[in-house]
Amino acid sequence: MVRISGEMAKKRLTPPWFSLGFGSLVLELSQSIGHKLEMIKFEETLSPLNPELIKNYLYVAKGGKKNKGKTKKENQKKSEEEKYILCLQCENKISRPIYRMSHQGSFDHTFLNPAGDLFHIGCFEQANGCVVLGVPSSEWAWFHGCQWQVAVCGQCLTHLGWFFQSEKESPFFGLILDALI
C-alpha cells in the first residue's frame, strides 16, 4: 500500500498509487516480505530533471527489483525462459523454447505415417503440457531404436505429437510444429 501525503495527496494521476509533481513528497510504502511487514518512508524532491530518482520510486512502489549489471544477453535469456510454446487449439502451455533439442542431428524432422499423412515435428526434452497415451510401440518408428506413444494436449486432448523413448537415449517429445504457437 502506498500513501501520498502533503500537497500531492489531493492530485490523483494514473497509476493511482503514485503521483508526480514538484516539491517534496512523502511516500509511505507498506511492503509485505514473507511474514514480516516493513514501513519505508521517502522524502525527496521529484522533478522531471531527475529521472533516475523517479525510476527508483517506481521500482520500490511496485516492489520490483532493478536489473543492475545484467547484460542484454542475460536479459534476453531470462525473457526466453519465460516464453511458452502453446497448443494452437486451446493455448495451453505445452513446452518452452529452452527445451528444444537436436535428435539425430536436427531439431525438426518431416515424416509420413502409414496413412500417408505428412508431419513436420520438432524435438523437445520436456513438454509438461502434454499427456502421453497408449502402450509404447516400435511399429513404424520414425527414429531407429525408439518406441513411441501418442502425446496430446493435457487440456483439450488435441493430438500434438509423440513421446519417444529408447534404452540408449534420453526420452523426448516429437511435437507437430503446425499444432503449436
- What DSSP letter does each residue of 112-173 carry, written as one string? E-TT--EEEEEEES--TTEEEEEEEE-TT-SSTT-EEEEEEETTT--EEEEEEE-SSS--EE
Which of residues 32 and 51 earns the better pLDDT score?
51
Asked whether residue 18 carries a pLDDT value surpassing 80, the answer given is: no
Cell of 153: 494436449
| Confidence at residue 78, expressed as pLDDT on a 0 to 100 scale | 57
- How large a percentage of the chain has pLDDT more than 90? 55
pLDDT tens digits for range 113-168: 999 999 999 999 999 999 999 999 999 999 999 999 999 999 999 999 999 999 99
| Confidence at residue 71, expressed as pLDDT on a 0 to 100 scale | 72
| Confidence at residue 37, expressed as pLDDT on a 0 to 100 scale | 33
Q: How far apart are CA 44 and CA 54, in angstroms?
A: 10
Give the residue-averaged pLDDT of 58-70.
48
| Confidence at residue 68, expressed as pLDDT on a 0 to 100 scale | 53
Average pLDDT over the chain reads: 74
Range(s) within the chain of domains with CATH label 2.170.150.20: 83-179
CATH for the stretch 83-179: 2.170.150.20
- pLDDT bucket at 72, cuts 50 / 70 / 90: confident
Give the residue-averaged pLDDT of 74-97.
84
Q: Which residue has the cell 509404447?
A: 136
| Confidence at residue 75, expressed as pLDDT on a 0 to 100 scale | 67
